[in-house]
């Protein structure tokens, strides 16, 4: 049965961030049981649940922690990749914006500003669409 996200617990699902040993999975060979979502660290189950949103939130937190830690990496490519990860979660993330501003290309900086402008425009549209007095 699919939840509000449209992701069925009975479907095969796997998200893994390159360079890490954690994942979010359902109905994969690494999943300890069927019909549940799992946040895994290696073979260890960190979280099991039937609610995709709850497990996804926990997985995204692990991603954020990984990216945050690597914003200061000596590897420029990893630093930039981590900055894009954080900006994907929060387009205003100060440190990630600094990394792209310092280490990114002109194209990276234009892409970052375009994403920030889109997010700002979306916010303004939501505000304008609110009922008056509501």
Contact assessment for residue 71 and residue 99, using Cβ atoms and an 8 Å cutoff: yes
The secondary structure of 27-96 as a DSSP string is: SSTT-SSSSSEEEEETTEEEEEES-HHHHHHHHHHHHHHHHHHHTT-S-HHHHHHHHHHHHHH-TT-HHH
Q: Cα separation of 95 and 84, whole Å? A: 11
**In a 3-state reduction of DSSP, which class is residue 122?**
helix
Q: Whose CA is closest to 50, among 94, 101, 13, 102?
A: 13
pLDDT of residue 4: 44
What are the extents of the domains in the chain? Answer: 1-55, 71-122
Contact assessment for residue 108 and residue 100, using Cβ atoms and an 8 Å cutoff: yes
Split the chain (134 residues) into runs of 10 and give each run's mean pLDDT.
57 88 91 90 91 93 96 96 95 95 96 89 81 70
Q: Cα separation of 30 and 45, whole Å? A: 10
Tokens of 89: 């979660």
Q: Whose CA is closest to 21, among 66, 60, 72, 73?
A: 66
pLDDT of residue 3: 46
pTM for the full model?
0.79
């Amino acid at each position: 049965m699919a939840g509000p996200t449209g992701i069925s617990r009975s479907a095969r699902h796997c998200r893994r961030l390159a360079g890490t040993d954690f994942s979010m999975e359902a109905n994969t060979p690494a999943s300890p049981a069927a019909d549940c979502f799992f946040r895994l660290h290696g073979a260890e189950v960190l979280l099991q649940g039937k609610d995709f949103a709850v497990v996804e939130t926990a997985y995204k937190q692990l991603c954020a922690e990984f990216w945050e830690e690597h914003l200061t990496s000596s590897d420029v490519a990893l630093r930039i990749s981590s900055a894009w990860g954080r900006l994907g979660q929060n387009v205003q993330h100060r440190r990630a914006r600094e990394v792209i501003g310092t280490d990114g290309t002109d194209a990276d900086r234009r892409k970052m500003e375009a994403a920030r402008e889109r997010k700002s425009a979306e916010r303004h549209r939501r505000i304008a669409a609110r009922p008056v007095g509501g």
